[in-house]
C-alpha cells in the first residue's frame, strides 16, 4: 500500500515538473496571405515565426511553422508570449513578405491586423520595332538582346525600372532611347511595342520615324517633302566665311552648295530634323538674313525655335 502511494506521489511530482518546464500550450496567431496585385488568397504558403532566446528551456519557441490552407489562412500554434516574433511568408516563384508580432497572453489567439502580400515573379517582356513597325534583331535592352522577332525578356523586378535601348547597327541619332516603366501590376510586365525613331532602308540609309527625312550615310540629309539636301555635320565658322565655305564645299559627289533662305529654314524647324543633325540647332541664312537680324550686340532672334545668332554659330549648307 505504501509503495503504491510513493509511486503515485513521484508520478505527480514528475508531471508537475514537466508542466512547469514546458508543458504550457503557449499562445496562437492567425493570418492570411494574398497576392499583392490581384488580392487573391494564396494557398500552400510556408509561414515561419522566428525569435531568439538564450534560455535553453525556451529554445523550442524559436521557430514555429505553419502553411496556408486553400483560402490562404494560416494558424501558428505554441508561440511564447515572452518574445516578439518575425513572421515570414515564402512560396516558390513569389516574393517573400515579412511582418512582426507580439503574441497574446497564454492560451489566447491573435489575428494579424493585415494580410501578408506576395507578388508572383514573372519576366518583363517586350518587342522592338523600327519606324515601319518591323521587328529588329540584335537590339540590346538592359541585359537582354532581341531575337529575330524583335522580342526580349528581362528578369522579374518590381517598382520603377529604366530600360536602356541600344541598337548599335543604327545611326547615333536613332539608335538609343531610355524608357521608364513602373511595374505595379501584372499587366505592365507585357510592355507596349517600343519603336526606334528610324527605319533601315539598306545601303547605310536610314529614314526618320515620320518618313520625311533620310540620313544618306554620307553626311547628308534628304528632305523628301521639299526635295532639298542638307549637310548633316555643319562646320563651326564665322558668318562672314559661311557663304564662301558653301560655294567651295564638295560633298556626296555634289557641288553648288549654298546657305538656306529663311523660308527654307522655316520648313525644317521641327523635332525630326533637329534630331538627325549632329551639331545643334543654329543656322546661317543667305538673302533673308538681314531682314530679321538684330541692330548689334548679342541679341538673338528665333524662327520656330531655330537660333539665328550672327556670331560663331553652327551652320548648315544646303
The mean pLDDT of 20-41, rounded to a whole number, is: 84
For residue 2, CA distances in Å to 5, 291, 314 come to: 5, 130, 117
Instruction: Give the residue from 110, 178, 102, 84 showing the smallest Cα distance to 140.
Output: 178
The CA distance from 68 to 32, in Å, is 7
What pLDDT score does 192 carry?
Answer: 92
- The reported pLDDT for the residue numbered 314 is 37
pLDDT, position 3:
59
pLDDT at 21 over 60: no
pLDDT at 309 over 60: no
- C-alpha distances (whole Å) from 219 to each of 13, 215, 222, 253 are 100, 8, 10, 11
Is the pLDDT at 305 greater than 50? The verdict is no
* Per-residue model confidence as pLDDT tens digits over 226-248: 888 888 776 666 767 777 877 88
Domains in the chain with CATH codes: 25-118 (2.60.40.10), 124-200 (2.60.40.1120), 212-307 (no CATH)
DSSP for residue 92: T
Q: Exposed/middle/buried for 14, CB within 10 Å: 0-12, 13-18, 19+?
A: exposed
Long-range Cβ contacts of 243-250 (<8 Å, 24+ apart): 243/286, 245/315, 245/317, 246/317, 246/318, 249/317
* CA pair distance 281, 306, nearest whole angstrom: 6
For residue 159, what are the contacts with CB-CB under 8 A and spacing of at least 6? 182, 183, 184
Q: Which helix (H) or strand (E) holds 306?
A: strand 306-307
* Cα–Cα distance for residue pair 188/247, rounded to 1 Å: 55
Find where cell 532672334 sits: 301
* pLDDT tens column, 194-228: 988 889 998 889 888 888 888 888 888 888 888 88
Q: Give the 3-state secondary structure of residue 292.
A: helix
Q: Assess whether pLDDT exceeds 80 at residue 297.
A: no
Contact (CB, 8 A) for 136 and 150: yes
Over the stretch 137-178, which tens digit does the pLDDT of each residue have?
Answer: 999 999 999 999 999 999 999 999 999 999 988 888 888 888
Q: What is the pLDDT of residues 261-285, one digit of tens each?
A: 777 777 776 667 767 765 444 554 4
Residue 151 CB neighbours (<10 A): 14
Q: How far from chain centre, in Å, is Cα 160?
A: 5
Amino acid at each position: 500500500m505504501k509503495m503504491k502511494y510513493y509511486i503515485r506521489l513521484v508520478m505527480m511530482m514528475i508531471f508537475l515538473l514537466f508542466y512547469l518546464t514546458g508543458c504550457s500550450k503557449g499562445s496562437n496567431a492567425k493570418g492570411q496571405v494574398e497576392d499583392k496585385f490581384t488580392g487573391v488568397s494564396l494557398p500552400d504558403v510556408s509561414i515561419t515565426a522566428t525569435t531568439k532566446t538564450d534560455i535553453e528551456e525556451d529554445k523550442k519557441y524559436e521557430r514555429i511553422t505553419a502553411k496556408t490552407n486553400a483560402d490562404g489562412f494560416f494558424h501558428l500554434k505554441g508561440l511564447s508570449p515572452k518574445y516578439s516574433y518575425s513572421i515570414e511568408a515564402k512560396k516558390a516563384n513569389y516574393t517573400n513578405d515579412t511582418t512582426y508580432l507580439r503574441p497574446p497572453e497564454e492560451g489566447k489567439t491573435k489575428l494579424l491586423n493585415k494580410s501578408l502580400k506576395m507578388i508572383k515573379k514573372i519576366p518583363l517582356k517586350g518587342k522592338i520595332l523600327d519606324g515601319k513597325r518591323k521587328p529588329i534583331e540584335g537590339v540590346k535592352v538592359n541585359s537582354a538582346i532581341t531575337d529575330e522577332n524583335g522580342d526580349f525578356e528581362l528578369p522579374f523586378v518590381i517598382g520603377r525600372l529604366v530600360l536602356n535601348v541600344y541598337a548599335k547597327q543604327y545611326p547615333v541619332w536613332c539608335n538609343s532611347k531610355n524608357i521608364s516603366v513602373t511595374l505595379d501590376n501584372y499587366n505592365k510586365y507585357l510592355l507596349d511595342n517600343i519603336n526606334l525613331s528610324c527605319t533601315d532602308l539598306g545601303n547605310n540609309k536610314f529614314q526618320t520615324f515620320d518618313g520625311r527625312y533620310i540620313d544618306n550615310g554620307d553626311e547628308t540629309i534628304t528632305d523628301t517633302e521639299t526635295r532639298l539636301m542638307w549637310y548633316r555635320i555643319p562646320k563651326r565658322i564665322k558668318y562672314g566665311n559661311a557663304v564662301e565655305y558653301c560655294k567651295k564645299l564638295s560633298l556626296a559627289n555634289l557641288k553648288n552648295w549654298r546657305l538656306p533662305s529663311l523660308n527654307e529654314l522655316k520648313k525644317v524647324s521641327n523635332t525630326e530634323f533637329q534630331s538627325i543633325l549632329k551639331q545643334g540647332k543654329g543656322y546661317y541664312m543667305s538673302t533673308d538674313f538681314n531682314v530679321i537680324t538684330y541692330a548689334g550686340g548679342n541679341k538673338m532672334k528665333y524662327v520656330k525655335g531655330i537660333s539665328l545668332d550672327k556670331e560663331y554659330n553652327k551652320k548648315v549648307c544646303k
